[in-house]
Amino acid sequence: MDVHFSKYHGLGNDYLVIDPEIHDVNLTPEAIRLICDRHFGVGADGILYGPLKDGENLRVRIFNPDGSEAQKSGNGLRIFARYVYEKKYVDGKHFSIDTLGGTVEAQIQDDTAGLIRLNMGKITFLSTEIPANGPPRRFVNEELQIGGAKYRVTCLSIGNPHCVIPMDDISEQKARQLGPLVENHRMFPNRINVQLLKVIDRQTIDIQIWERGAGYTLASGSSSCAAAAAAHKMGFVDDKVTVKMPGGNLFVEIEDNQTVYLTGPVEKVFEGRFGPDLQEKLSNMKRNPAPRLRPANNADCEHIANLVFGVLGEYGLKPDPASTDADIKDIESSYFGRGGTFLVLEARDGSIVGAYGLYPLQERTCELRKMYLHKAYRGKGLGRLLMNDALSKARQLGFRKMVLETASVLKEAIALYKSYGFVEYTPDHLSSRCDQAYSLELK
């Protein structure tokens, strides 16, 4: 069979390996999001693109499902190690893999390559290397305000950044609530991975994980290393630690020089090929690259306001900077600071041509706000790109229902909402320029 990808998982954390020697794909952020989408694509927590030859070592690029590129992934690297061993890209059971986060040594532990040990490199708690804002310091047991409450956190880098939060009780719900707030916290200019840590005993910890660019995750190798290293630094555990996660357990060893080793299983799921319809979409993306989606920040506020007010003016609707549109004066506090998100669609020239925000309400409900698209970019499928991403992000953030308000004059937008299953309902109140409301149960 003509194989386009191989799928593996490490404790439920699943990746696609796309081998450029077998099937090359132009992995734009838009293509990555489509391939990883569990409804419209193959479905995965990320893509491993390689092997790429870099001198004597093999190199892999690691992509998150939101299209961003990751520096390192413990589960992803164990998967990639099994792949290159199975495909005989390496001669023996001990070899090196280069990543953006540094070189990792892999050792196959059995003949089936079902158990793999990685030398993940050295950890650092230095704020300048994580990176974290503020004066240079070791970021250990430091107070951080998150969503109106104060927590003691320890942050570190193992080639990618992590924030570990010790707690007496941890849960998926807490990870989904705190994860996006910490990931997008002003303290961390490049965003950060988040682990909620519960210490069981001197040899065992339990963690819940929120991954940068991926959301809530059943298991993570680099997160296991980070949580174990942080617990060891704070004196909670010894130097050999079993890390328990919803997807299963990994084993971490910490040496005196701060080198960390990770051991865990890998399972192969299947090999497959992209169907003709998906291939055609990917080819179109290569020929006509779309604007890229990225998280917004307060430097974008003026540009977002220009987009929003411009679209409103097209339809004879009035901006309301004092009330309805006050949220776009401070995107970081209005959305990220409340546990939501806001993304912008950025054209090649850097201009913002589209946007949407997810504003948290009560009972795991979010409101879709400020979903607008510049008139020059309509009719190109970008409205569906925004909606697909909004639904995916809402599910990642743990929301179970999405609502929105709109004006009946926005007929194209209403047709889009209805095509996704939104149904009209009557809320307690509507904003000044809206006369309709819709809701959708997120499955």
CA–chain centroid gap for 95, Å, is 29
Domain 127-265: CATH superfamily, name plus number:
Diaminopimelate Epimerase; Chain A, domain 1 (3.10.310.10)
Other CB atoms closer than 10 Å to residue 326's CB: what's the count?
Answer: 11
Q: What mean pLDDT is predicted for residues 188-216?
A: 94
User: What are the Cα distances from residue 151, in Å, to 141, 167, 282?
Assistant: 9, 9, 44
pLDDT at 163: 98
Residue 68: predicted pLDDT:
86
Strand partners, 225: none
Q: Output the pLDDT for position 54.
A: 66
Task: Pick 434 or 57 by higher pLDDT.
Answer: 434
CA distance 402 to 6: 34
In the block, which residue shows the tokens 């320029």? 433
Q: How far apart are the first and last CA of the chain?
A: 34
Mean pLDDT (the chain) is 92
Residue 241: pLDDT over 70: yes
290-441: what fold? Aminopeptidase (3.40.630)
pLDDT band at 283 (very low <50, low <70, confident <90, very high): confident
Strand partners, 355: 344, 372
Looking at residue 439, its pLDDT comes to: 95
- Paired residues of 26 in beta bridges: none
For residues 310-327, give the mean pLDDT.
Answer: 92
Share of the chain above pLDDT 70, in %: 99
Q: 288 pLDDT exceeds 70?
A: no
Contact (Cβ atoms closer than 8 angstroms) between residue 365 and residue 399: yes
**pLDDT for residue 140:** 97
Of residues 156 and 186, more confidence is placed in 156
CA angle, 243 as apex, 199 and 213 as ends, to 5°?
105
pLDDT range class, residue 62, cuts 50, 70, 90: very high
Nearest to 44 by CA among 195, 247, 214: 214
pTM of the model as a whole: 0.69
The boundaries of every CATH 3.10.310.10 domain in the chain are 5-114, 127-265
Domain with CATH 3.40.630.30 in the chain: 290-441
pLDDT beyond 60 at 1: no
Could you read off the pLDDT of 377-413 as tens digits, one per residue? 888 888 988 999 999 888 888 889 999 999 999 999 9
**Among 197, 212, 228, residue whose Cα is nearest residue 120:** 228
Name the percent of the chain lying above pLDDT 90: 73
What CA–CA distances, in Å, run from 5 to 26, 84, 394, 416?
14, 13, 28, 32
CATH class of the structural domain 5-114? alpha beta
What's the pLDDT band for 286 if we cut at 50, 70, 90?
confident
The answer to whether the CB of 21 falls within 8 A of the CB of 279 is no
* Residues in CB range of 26: below 8 A, 6 or more apart: 282, 285, 286
